[in-house]
Chain A
């Protein structure tokens, strides 16, 4: 246990150290500017303390972000306002719901495409290049267009955001599942042939179970991509709220602390989602006798 915790803690400590030092450097000009206008001379320690406590710093210090995170989550829960529109829990929930919707869409689409690609040579030749091409288009460019098109079709906003998440999350699922469904060796496929098994029987009894390790690896990448998609979608649909809307709102009003706390909240959310999939992966693969 200690062996795995210690390296992680050292890395975190290093990040915090770099972060604090960087915020001194980046926020110093403003602190000096204020002091000059007030006509006071700042000692080094006063200067450093000022760079770590500005209202709109270029780079907020970690404790400022932590305080903002607490004020918009735990503190609001204590006041009974957990689901207020100013609470990150509410924004996080908005993001989470379109992330999960997009993840379900994307996983479903990815698995269906992979099944088609594995079973049809035509699909293998025709669809795969488009799947890869789709990921070279910047999502930030097509997200507003998807929103406009779907809005004109009277589609619900959550679904529109889910579609944008899907656009990012189906890709790792397709790639992983194609590899996973093709993972049974020649001997296993020959064995199925000796039993005169149909394609469907081979799929359900062999290909699908054999693809499980690949599926879980893809799902981990997919859910993180889905969250990014949701955040990007919220930049176009910011009236609905969400962590992306918080970031956008923060950047309008120079609220860097708010931007950073939304960023950190999104990172925590992503880490949590990946961890949940990792847990399901461990349990499932162990039960299937395929634990790596």
Chain B
């Protein structure tokens, strides 16, 4: 057993607002192992995005401890230990798809030929080969989000942090991207933390489902999924799948009851 990739101990984050303190996170303890696919699910205000942002050093916790790859989130960020995929694709309209994927590589100082090779590799990975020279506006929303995932994969980060990346997409596109994301996870053996508020999405994708509830933001249940690594879309009709989904729903309801 190796050390966890992400480890949080009694992590708390309190925002001071004009209406008094808001406990975005309170005493959150969790370990994410290498190669895990962890989903964070819960109603809005439960702190799932805040937790992800703490891992990424985009928010500073006010209490407790968190390490990423055994070091502080800031050191991990400086070492470019993770790729972050936001809710919106956030591609630059003045850069081509290839240029957008190249951007973090340019910032990190990869050599020109290395950049070219990496852009090709990740475009293949997200099935966007041939779209390198296209501009973002020439692509559909789903394709743009795939390009933004490719951008997060282009450099050598073992961790992928994803904040509701498919939240704005329709059901059919979302199914397809979920399937692709699983294959990608299987191929690259990355550790993925994935924020969502869709129960089927969380159950379908994850090896571990973290159910959270609001006021204060906390973890109410952690479910280790018994589903195999290889998951065809129709696994969602099996009794195991439905049972896990049930447990997630119960956890969400319990969190709401005392909230």
Q: Please report A residues at the B interface, Cβ cutoff 8 Å.
A: 187-188, 190-197, 201, 205-206, 209, 212, 287-290
Contact = CB atoms under 8 A, between A and B. Distances in A.
Contacts of A212: 94
B30 to A, nearest CB: 21
Nearest to B103: A205
B118 to A, nearest CB: 14
B6 to A, nearest CB: 15
A191 B106 CA distance: 14
A290 B88 contact: no
B92 to A, nearest CB: 7
Contacts of B1: none
B56 A209 contact: no
Interface of B: 56-58, 77-78, 80, 82-84, 86-88, 90, 92-94, 103-104, 106-108, 135-137
B86 A289 contact: no
B136 A195 contact: no
Contact of B84 (A191, A205, A290): A191
A193 B80 CA distance: 10
Given A194-B83, A196-B78, A196-B80, 11 more contacts: A187-B86, A187-B90, A191-B84, A193-B58, A193-B77, A194-B77, A196-B77, A205-B106, A205-B107, A289-B135, A290-B94
A195 B88 CA distance: 17
Say what secondary structure dominates the interface of chain A: helix
Contacts of A205: 92, 103, 106-107
A191 B80 CA distance: 12
Contacts of A195: 80, 103-104, 107-108
A209 B58 CA distance: 24
A194 B90 contact: no
A16 B106 CA distance: 59
Contact of B92 (A187, A194, A197, A206): A206
Contacts of B107: 192, 195-197, 201, 205
Contacts of B57: 193
A105 B93 CA distance: 30
Given A195-B107, A197-B107, A289 B137 contact: yes
